[in-house]
């Protein structure tokens, strides 16, 4: 476990959020267009827009499933790491930052301390524990 690993949940959550937005957009998008009435014949090949949308929707759903599995795996790794930390206050600071991805102000308010105090405790812990991973 590294400090970078502890921050991965944020990015996985953001990725899932964006994929869900794209999925919602694809599912709501009208696949039928109004016909253009010009009186002229048209051609240009055969295209099945409905099938194209259905394939893309399934691809997005698969990507969401993969990202959720990664998220659950990452959370389990962080949870195992947290259980090794004896100081409950420090464990809570790391949980709020890494799993809940709260900002320092929110963490400080949650714990009744200044945001800088919470940040310094977190950074001191990371410097001590992860110093050997820098190289």
At residue 135 the predicted structure's pLDDT band, cuts being 50, 70 and 90, is very low
d(CA 6, CA 99): 8
Q: What pLDDT, on a 0 to 100 scale, did the predictor assign at position 49?
A: 74
Q: What is the pTM of this model?
A: 0.72
pLDDT tens-digit readout, 42-101: 555 556 777 888 889 999 999 999 999 999 999 999 999 999 999 999 999 999 999 998
For the chain, the maximum distance between any two Cα atoms, rounded to a whole number of angstroms, is 78
d(CA 19, CA 67): 9
Nearest to 108 by CA among 119, 95, 100: 119
Buried b or exposed e, range 55-64, using 16+ CB within 10 angstroms: eeeeebeeeb
């Amino acid at each position: 476990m590294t400090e970078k690993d502890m921050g991965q949940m944020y990015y996985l959550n953001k990725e899932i959020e964006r994929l869900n937005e794209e999925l919602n957009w694809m599912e709501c998008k009208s696949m039928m267009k109004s016909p253009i009435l010009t009186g002229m014949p048209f051609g240009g090949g055969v295209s099945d827009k409905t099938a194209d949308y259905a394939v893309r929707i399934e691809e997005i759903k698969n990507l969401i499933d993969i990202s959720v599995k990664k998220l659950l795996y990452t959370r389990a790794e962080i949870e195992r790491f947290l259980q090794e930390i004896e100081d409950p206050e420090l464990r809570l600071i790391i949980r709020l930052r890494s799993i809940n991805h709260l900002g320092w102000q929110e963490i400080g308010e949650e714990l009744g301390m200044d945001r800088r105090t919470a940040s310094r405790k977190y950074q001191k812990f990371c410097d001590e524990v992860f110093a050997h991973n820098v190289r």
